[in-house]
A = this chain, B = another copy of it.
Amino acid sequence: MSQTRPTALRTEPAAASALEDTRRANLARLFKPRSIAVVGASADPAKAGSQALKTLSRFPGKLVCVHPRETEIQGRPCYPSFADLPEPVDLAVLAIPARHCVRAAAEAAERGVGGVFIVSGGFGETGAEGAGLQDALGEICARTGMRLLGPNTSGFVNPAAGCIASFVPGVDTIGTGSVAVVAQSGGVNLSLGYLLDRLGEGVSIAAGLGNAVDVGTRDMLDLLAEDANTRAIALHLEGVTDGRALFETLKHVTPKKPVVAVVAGRADIGEFAVSHTGNLMGSRERTVAALTQAGAIVVDTLDELAQAAAVLSRRRMPPKAANAMALITGQAGPGLLITDALKAAGIALPELGPTTMETIEALLPPMTFIKNPVDTGRPGPGFPDVVRAAAEDEAIDAVLVFGISEPSVLDPAAALRPADEATGKPILFGTLGPAPDLQKARDDLAALGTPTVIGPDRLALAGTVLDADARHQWRLSHAAENAPSPAREKLTGPFDENAAKQLMRSYGIAAPRSVLGETREAALAAFAELRKPVVVKIAAEDVAHKTEVGGVILNVRDDDAFTAALDKIAAIPTKTPNRVLIEEMAPDGVELIVGGVRDPSWGPCVVIGLGGVQAEALSDSVVGLAPLSETDVAVMLDALRGKKLLDGFRGLPRCDRSAIAGVAIAVGQLLLDHPEIAEVEINPLRVNETGAVALDALVVLGGKP
């Protein structure tokens, strides 16, 4: 948390801690208020303040207005100022122009208001003047501990508390549910609220953060992790400025509550994004990697986000590296599409065990497919027992059931209950049919805690997100500890290839045996000692691109060739014409690139990619946040599109993946230990059956001093 607190607070730990407690308590007051004041309501019903008052009409607690002249608006008592309030309210809704907000916020804080929600735009998103107002608001919050949602947002809803804090009419139709929404955009927050409502799910708390001067994503995650009404969190991110802190927060939240996220920025939408959020999007690839590594699930669309969060609010699976599922379908065609989607997502549908198949075979007509999926044909009386048999198969972690509504032959609750009671494993149900049938299935199955989804695609999605959640939590449970190595001296450089490789070796990364020849004589002596063939490389600080100038000579086997190589290098213009690096040639293998970068938001990251111009053109690389564990790297390598190149493809050696992991972990640790390093690149890292060797290495200083 310390990265975003003003420095002044750090110097007085006790006061800081008290203020932190106040802030935490006020955050809960803001989102679960027992009393609310609206500022900006008037006799004019079109005003945002009047609309906000109206949408709060169901609020069961104390609801008042602050207005300089009126005594009553919409039947609610008015007070001339915050100071006049008989008691400090938990939440104040400021539906007034930006220029009046700072003073109102200051007065609210003075009166002990828990939090304010500022509707208006006209702050940081509009230029310097607005940014000044925004800074003033931030200062009030930091000083007093009052919390602020917004400005520039459509607000939040907490239907269970009857608190609809928004100026948008109709938001009060969003029902009460177990999914919380945290969106950087107010419009996306409303969109997700409506989408969840259309799924029959509703929300616990749904908040649009807007400019997020005070209340940010991490505050919401901390609040929701402990919120009894919230069982899953739907997260929307545009740009993330304090990524590393979000990463740490998520690592603590996702084991308690599943988090599903949409991250804007699949395409280049830079200019509009900056105009909207006021900050750069950053690398979406790194954002997705960080969220995943912290145990969250990233999907592409709001439709998927709402559906995935709804499913996970009803069921989670225990952490596991890979899950096997069974599919029981009443209709073959949809079953084929579900199977297809699950397999495309990498989920195993293993053949059921012999005992299971025997049981199922006895329950179904002959000639049906029973290996997995099980195609029951039109559901018959044995359907519930088929589902239970599949669930009882010890190789199966979850069962998906699909059946088009046909009440005379399929009662969903009766079909799924035996399996649920016998095994406790997740049994998901997908269906289609007339709306009343679907509603009945959903209601009946809700009692079992079983997610019901509409259609084959969503059943496949449900299985996919349950699996992803379990896999990501398993990976998170195998995450590396964030422990720097014993104190290391600050590096000063400069790093030529030789020095860079020495640094790599000190971190346990193998590099070919080599000798730096400062003179021709030294070079000749070194050559005699090394295993042939060798590669001879120019080692001149003033030559950047060794290969382009003919400064790398491969496969030097004998004295003649070696002296010819020295002659060739000596002819290259440089201040140190005879300085060469002589290196034993590494065995053949697959070439990878392992890089370490310091992301402005996410901090030290390790990138692993396949070497070569084609892999580069296809951007086939994966990224993870340091520190990395063996598990992290294993998962990352599995995400390379060209991963089969690591497994003995077309006569290439089968690569030692643990050796790659060792290098990647070490590169991450190097960045963690040495904040003065901006960037590291091992290119290529040559890998075969027995290990990984850094053939070239680059270290760039200039990170955080």
Contacts and interface: CB of A to CB of B under 8 A. Distances in A.
Interface string A310-349: 0000000000000000000011111111011111100000
Contact of A170 (B170, B190, B406): B406
A332 B642 contact: no
A484 interface: no
Interface in A290-312: 301-304
Interface in A381-426: 404-408
Contact of A173 (B46, B268, B434): B434
B617 A238 contact: no
Given A457-B302, A457-B303, A337 B188 contact: yes
A56 interface: no
Interface string A641-656: 1101100011010000
A331 to B, nearest CB: 3
Contacts of A190: 331, 404, 432
B184 A333 contact: yes
Contact of A408 (B169, B301, B371, B377): B169
Interface string A161-195: 00000001110010000000001111111110011
A264 B618 contact: no
A694 interface: no
A540 B221 CA distance: 71
Contacts of A188: 331, 333-334, 337
B238 A333 contact: yes
A303 B649 contact: no
B275 A617 contact: no
Contacts of A266: 340-341, 343-344
A76 interface: no
B432 A191 contact: yes
Copy number in this complex?
Answer: 2
A641 B620 CA distance: 11
Contacts of A641: 618
A125 interface: yes
Contacts of A169: 406-408
Interface in A614-634: 614-618, 620
Contacts of A359: none
A456 interface: yes
A375 B269 CA distance: 14
B303 A333 contact: no
A191 B150 CA distance: 43
Contacts of A173: 434-435
A138 interface: no
Contacts of A184: 333
A302 B195 CA distance: 19
Instruction: Select the residue from A194, A195, A265, A271 with max chain B CB neighbours within 10 A.
Output: A194
A185 B432 contact: no
Interface string A587-621: 00000000000000000000000101111111010
B455 A333 contact: no
A186 B649 contact: no
A627 to B, nearest CB: 30
Nearest to A372: B272
A466 to B, nearest CB: 18
Contact of A121 (B127, B185, B377): B377
Interface in A225-280: 236, 238, 262, 264-269, 271-273, 275-276
Contacts of A373: 272
Given A185-B333, A194-B433, A455-B191, A265 B340 contact: yes
A367 B333 contact: no
Contacts of A455: 191, 194-195, 302-303
A58 to B, nearest CB: 15
A437 interface: yes
A645 B456 CA distance: 39
A17 interface: no
Contact of A437 (B51, B170, B341): B170
B125 A170 contact: no
A45 to B, nearest CB: 9
A698 interface: no
A495 interface: no
A373 B271 CA distance: 10
A99 interface: no
A369 interface: yes
A167 to B, nearest CB: 9
Contacts of A208: 333
A126 interface: yes
B333 A406 contact: no
A678 B334 CA distance: 36
Given A46-B408, A406-B169, A432-B194, A271 B333 contact: no
A496 to B, nearest CB: 24
Contacts of A341: 266-267, 301
Nearest to A170: B434
A55 to B, nearest CB: 12
30 contacts: A46-B408, A154-B331, A169-B406, A170-B406, A183-B333, A185-B332, A185-B334, A185-B336, A187-B331, A187-B332, A187-B333, A187-B404, A188-B333, A189-B333, A194-B404, A208-B333, A267-B339, A267-B343, A271-B371, A272-B336, A272-B369, A272-B371, A301-B341, A303-B455, A304-B457, A613-B645, A614-B614, A614-B645, A617-B642, A618-B641
- Which 3 A-B pairs have CB atoms at the shortest separation, nearest pair first? A185-B333, A187-B331, A267-B343
